[in-house]
Structure 1
Amino acid sequence: MDSTNTSGMVEQFIENKKKIDQIMQETAEQEGKIMSAFRAVTNKIVSGSTSSLPRRRRSYINRDHVDANDRLMKYYFNDTPRYNDTKFERRFRMCRHLFLRIAEDLELEYPYFQQKYDARGYLGFSTFQKCTLSLHILACVNTTDINDEYLKMAEKTTRDTLENFCITKI
């Protein structure tokens, strides 16, 4: 290598290093601005002054999902269900034994599918309700709002349940 070629490479290296340093400085400035904005928003949220409007409480609709669960159990899962195995298979597109196995596996493996008490102290949706909902939507290609009438489940809860069902590994 000759010295002219080496000195040219050194000059190119120094020039590139300056460009990189300049980019790094600009990036650090942008990160500083972003962090400053983030801190300001966080402080507003913590202090509770995100809006000058009064905070509205969520409305609660009593859907009586406990009664819906009792009805589901009486119709399909009790010792002497109202509907026989043929009707069950037509409605759920699978045999009762397979459905029970799926529901049991979900309940054992995934906390979301375990029946728990909600923040108000009321019993939440049962494993059978959540599993019925998910399989029914997937098998029959129903919309999420139809379950408000049948299983007494709100549309958001229906979407959450279906999402959790789809990410499980049965």
Structure 2
Amino acid sequence: MAEQEGKIISAFRAASHKIASGPTSSQPRRRRSYIIRDLVDANDRLMKHYFNDTRLDTKFEHRFGYLDVYFSALEREYPYFQQKCDASGYLVFTAIQKCTSLLRILAYGNTTDINDEYLKMAEKTTRDTLENFFHQ
């Protein structure tokens, strides 16, 4: 039993020494890759499809005319929905993009990865939007 404990302790010391010495030259540090998404183009497309000034009829104006007021209030009240820069210095999504992502998930019953194609939004961002919307 004491022999087994000695082997475990020596293996632990060897592993901790290897961790403390850091990566060797044969093991270079890997950097995270950053996926550049065209968020500006995605926002322009969204605004063109849903929020342009040429309304089809007055019913649409009556039902959805105040959405920009709601988005502005949401952006003003909750910091998550404010547009900021990420750690790389790129602008992140607007409140309208985040809410559109949220509404598409809730209305159509889709999974969170559906917004990658249209809104250029990662699955994690959609999940974070869902969590922040319902927990605030």
TM-score normalised over the length of structure 1? 0.57
1:78-157 equivalent positions in 2, closer than 5 A: 78-80=52-54, 84=56, 95-157=63-125
1:124–1:85 distance in 2 versus 1, CA, 3 Å: farther
1:1-170 equivalent positions in 2, closer than 5 A: 49=20, 52=23, 54-80=28-54, 84=56, 95-168=63-136
1:66–1:139 distance in 2 versus 1, CA, 3 Å: same
Kindly indicate whether the alpha-carbon contact (under 8 Å) linking 1:85 and 1:96 is maintained by their aligned counterparts in 2: no
RMSD: 2.8
> 1 CA distance for matches of 2:42 and 2:69?
21
Aligned residues: 114
Unaligned runs of 5+ in 1: 1-43, 90-94
> 2 CA distance for matches of 1:100 and 1:133?
15
Q: Which has the higher helix share?
A: 1
| SS in structure 2 at match of 1:57 | coil
> 1 CA distance for matches of 2:40 and 2:85?
12
| SS in structure 1 at match of 2:65 | helix
> 1 CA distance for matches of 2:70 and 2:131?
16
Higher relative contact order (CA 8 A, sep 6+): 2
> 1 CA distance for matches of 2:53 and 2:117?
25
Quote the offset at 1:56 in angstroms: 2.3
Question: Which runs of at least 4 in structure 1 moved beyond 3 Å after TM superposition?
Answer: 51-55
